[in-house]
Amino acid sequence: MTTKVVVLGGCGFIGRNLVTHLLDVGKYSITIVDNLSVGAPFVSDAKMIVGDIRTITQLDADVVINCAAQCGVQQSMQDPKKDMETNVGGIVNLLQLSVKHTVKRFIQLSSFAVLTNRSFYGLSKQVGELYCQMFSKIFGIETVVLRLSNVYGPYSEHKSSVIAKWVRQRKQGQPISVWGDGTQTRDFVFVGDVVETIEKAIATPLPKKHMVLPVCTGVDTMVQTVADSISNKQVVTNELPVGDGNCVVVDPLVTRELLGVGLHSLVCEKVMELI
């Protein structure tokens, strides 16, 4: 039986990779909902609806996957209200609709930013996780929070994350801009591994109705190491942006065991495929 899946933010970076992967698997009927504020429509067999997670009123799905978010740390510092309205108000709307339309499982993409909470983005993602937990507790809906580390890969050209920015600068023939002294660390995870993990979370039986699972490699890498693999033409700015710093290293063993996925640390090799 075909599983009906709605992917919110399906035209964005992770969403587009996810939709492409799910269609390749072939077991799913996919509907994309996206407000097109960042992503753009693309040719696929998925149904496309232009809509915003804050205001949509219908969800016809067995499983809902929320990839939509205000996902910039610096943007959240500049406009906390917009960040909250999207990352908190939007998810509450989706959870209410999921309960109303008897969705079987709600999958929320969260962030490692909740572990350090140095920004309004980290705060809003943390509150979103708590709403998933509370909706599961009160209404019995299955909620799976996938807490992502630093994701990189195809279709990320528009993003402000370090690898996306550096790849863009390299392609444009510009020196890449490195913030700080380069020793700050990230756990970089390839988007192909991420979408495989999301797909496994659609139907894999889990021990609890609400689960929080890390999606990461468990390996921290200095940003300077990745920068050097991309280009030797660099402009260094000593001051770190507000909200930046080292990552928290988390062991992804529980995710590997429950979902049967491999999460590999191959960033310096994989990043060259993007150039």
Question: pTM of the entire structure?
Answer: 0.93
**C-alpha distances out from residue 250 to 73, 147, 186, Å:** 20, 10, 11
**pLDDT at position 136:** 98
Tens digits of pLDDT across the chain (275 residues): 799 999 999 999 999 999 999 999 999 999 999 999 988 899 899 999 999 999 999 999 999 999 999 988 889 999 999 999 999 999 999 999 999 999 999 999 999 999 988 899 999 999 999 999 999 999 999 999 999 999 999 999 888 888 999 999 999 999 998 888 888 899 999 999 999 999 999 999 999 999 999 999 999 999 999 999 998 888 877 676 666 666 788 999 999 999 999 888 789 889 988 88
Residue-range domains of the chain with CATH = 3-274 (3.40.50.720)
